[in-house]
Amino acid sequence: MKRIFSGIQPTGNLHLGNYLGAVKNWVKLQSTYECIYCIVDMHAITTFQDPKKLTQNIRDAAAILIASGININSSILFNQSRVPMHAELAWIFNCIAKIGWLNRMTQFKDKAGKNREKASAGLYIYPNLMAADILSYKATHVPVGDDQKQHLELTRDIAISFNDSYGIKYFPVVEPLIIGEATRVMSLRDGSKKMSKSDNSDFTRINITDSKDVIASKIKKAKTDSLPVPESITALSGRLEAKNLLGIFAALKEVSLEKIIKDYGGGTFSVLKEDLAECIISELVPVSSEIKNLQNNREYLDKILKDGATKAEEISKPIIKEVKEIVGFLVA
């Protein structure tokens, strides 16, 4: 059976990077896989979150996912902390993963920065919890943006190491699904930095809930260079901002990068930007208005997450029971 698991952190405004790197693909994959989608609130608190804002962000993330097309009748949608199996399996994986493996994780280095000694232990062992999220359901495929590739490698290493240590082929070795032409959407202000919720400047990103005018203005002000739009894939080399805008356009239109280059190469950035802004607006503005409707219905959102957690627990409970037996815990 092909089962998908993927998660998103409720740490603020979801942006076009989250949308193209994850959400849009999650929606498409629903027709071919059994899908479990999770709002990973336990990951969110690896850096401090204001409690009231966190609660709000969990509901907002649910609204965004449903408005974007997650079908709550065919897929499971829930918030992580409601299903205790994630934390239980994460502990077992803390005892499987090696410190050397975690030391290589670039996201920890980026997020902890120079203040490594003051970073939470949770931030350091975050990838073990991510492995537990996925393997609590024995998921086989994980759609993610390119930035999560290394964490998924670690999930694979943990699964293999668990299976080897206990001499049983129990966990599947998961396959990442990194799909489309915008697997790493970059900042609109600096083509070498990932578009991110935590960037101080709102002009670095398009939030899914941005208004038409805000989207148009952010794209108009997006950094480019003084040359015409590149005319070939090889001409993209060293032109990070141009590559980013073209990649976003291709992903939204669901065409190849070559096709967008063919249509806009050699032209001016102002024409490209105008058409791109229109394309983003026509994709995101309808989602935005549906998000507002859903946000007015808090009970509905809460019920969806609660029901989703019940369904998720039904799948993970017997798996974690088996894992405990494999490890030798007394469960009877």
Nearer to ligand AQP, 13 or 161 (CB): 13
How many CA atoms, within 13 angstroms, populate the side-chain half-sphere of residue 106?
Answer: 7
Nearer to ligand AQP, 98 or 193 (CB): 193
- The least CB distance from residue 238 to ligand AQP, in Å, is 20
Inter-residue contact 146 to 330 (CB < 8 Å) = no
> Which single residue is written with the structure tokens 């918030």?
79
Catalytic position from the list 53, 149, 169, 197: 197
Residue from the set 4, 5, 8, 283 that interacts with ligand AQP by CB under 6 A: 8
- List Cβ neighbours of 308 (8 Å cut-off, separation of 6 or more): 72, 76, 77, 78
Neighbour order of strands in the sheet with 76-79: 76-79, 34-39, 3-8, 141-143, 175-177
Stretch of 9-17, 82-90, 92-100, 259-267 contacting ligand AQP, by CB under 6 A: 9-17
| Closest by CA position to 247, among listed 237, 238, 258 | 258
Residue nearest to ligand AQP (CB): 21
Alpha helices in the chain, H assignment, sequence order: 16-18, 24-29, 41-44, 51-68, 85-94, 99-103, 106-112, 121-135, 149-166, 212-221, 240-253, 257-264, 269-295, 298-327
Stretch of 189-197, 225-233, 238-246, 314-322 contacting ligand AQP, by CB under 6 A: 189-197
Known catalytic residue at 111:
yes
| Closest by CA position to 27, among listed 58, 72, 59, 60 | 72
Residue from the set 156, 189, 197, 259 that interacts with ligand AQP by CB under 6 A: 197
Known catalytic residue at 324:
no
Q: Could you give the string, one character per residue 14-53, with x where binding to ligand AQP holds by CB under 6 A and - elsewhere?
A: ---xx-xxx-------------------------------
- The least CB distance from residue 332 to ligand AQP, in Å, is 38
DSSP SS3 for 176: strand
Q: Could you give the string, one character per residue 135-164, with x where binding to ligand AQP holds by CB under 6 A and - elsewhere?
A: ---------xx-xx----------------
- List Cβ neighbours of 324 (8 Å cut-off, separation of 6 or more): 88, 331
User: Is residue 9 a contact residue for ligand AQP (CB under 6 A)?
Assistant: yes
User: Is residue 218 a contact residue for ligand AQP (CB under 6 A)?
Assistant: no
Catalytic position from the list 24, 138, 194, 273: 194
User: Is residue 82 a contact residue for ligand AQP (CB under 6 A)?
Assistant: no
Name the residues annotated as catalytic. Answer: 111, 194, 197
Task: List residues binding ligand AQP (CB under 6 A).
Answer: 8-9, 11, 17-18, 20-22, 144-145, 147-148, 183-185, 194-198
